Amino acid sequence: MLLFDDVALFDEGKKRYTDFNLPGAELRLWEQFYDKAASDHYYRLLETTTPWQQRERKIYDRIVPDPRLTAYYGGANGNAWTKPLLEIKEQVEQTSRIQFDRVLLNYYRDGNDSVAWHSDTLPKDGKHHEIASVTFGATRLFKVRHKTDKTVQQLNIPLTHGSFLLMGASLQNHYEHQVPKTTKATGGRINLTFRISESSKPVYVVEKR
């Protein structure tokens, strides 16, 4: 069975690069960072071998399960790195010239799974770092909006199978993002966000093109 044949982009066989040129923040996208065969391979592998957890959070006085499954690798409390995750980490490090030391995996089982508007948590050193986001599986919209300046247009970025989105450190200061639920029939989606914890600093500076 072939997975995710609806991704028309793959027919073109092109790696497409976009710099969103956001005011005050860096956001860059490589579509088909992985080709279809590699993307299908990683999707299947991660879906079946990851120790997915259903996390919960307290919202006021209610305990609410997250509308997605998650797993952490690296850092103080994460699972031990696996060979495929290290492979992906090295590939995003080569392109971004930034070194990451942990990864959060999100598994959106269908269109009913989501992540609400947020900025990623401030690391303990009080400073945001770059985040490298890799997607396998169904295409979902990644929405980005400025926290205060309503004149900055909201972005709706379809993150396709095998894409790589690089978020600059200041994106978290000035913008928030979400992956909304969708009623469109959609299969599973796995997103990996490679991060830098407080104990390590980027080895390289992201180069502006």
- Applying CB under 5 A, the residues found at the interface with Fe ion are 120
Q: Of 142, 148, 133, nearest to 177 (Cα)?
A: 142
- Report the nearest approach of ligand AKG to the CB of residue 115 (Å): 5
Query: In the stretch 168-197, what mask flags binding to ligand AKG with x, by CB under 6 A?
Result: ---------x-x-----------x-x----
Please return the burial class of 174, using the count of CB atoms within 10 Å of its CB with bins 0-12, 13-18 and 19+.
middle
* Rounded-to-integer distance, Cα 87 and Cα 108, Å: 22
Selected binder of ligand AKG within 98, 115, 138, 157 (CB under 6 A) = 115
Our finding on whether 163 is near ligand AKG (CB under 6 A) is no
* Rounded-to-integer distance, Cα 26 and Cα 157, Å: 14
**Smaller CB distance to ligand AKG: residue 36 or 140?**
140
- Report the nearest approach of ligand AKG to the CB of residue 199 (Å): 20
Describe the strand order of the beta sheet including 140-146 as a list of residue ranges: 115-118, 175-179, 140-146, 155-159
- Report the nearest approach of Fe ion to the CB of residue 75 (Å): 16
| Angle, vertex CA 22, rays to CA 105 and CA 202, nearest 5 | 50
Task: Report the interface residues with ligand AKG, using CB under 6 A.
Answer: 104, 106, 115, 120, 133, 142, 159, 177, 179, 191, 193
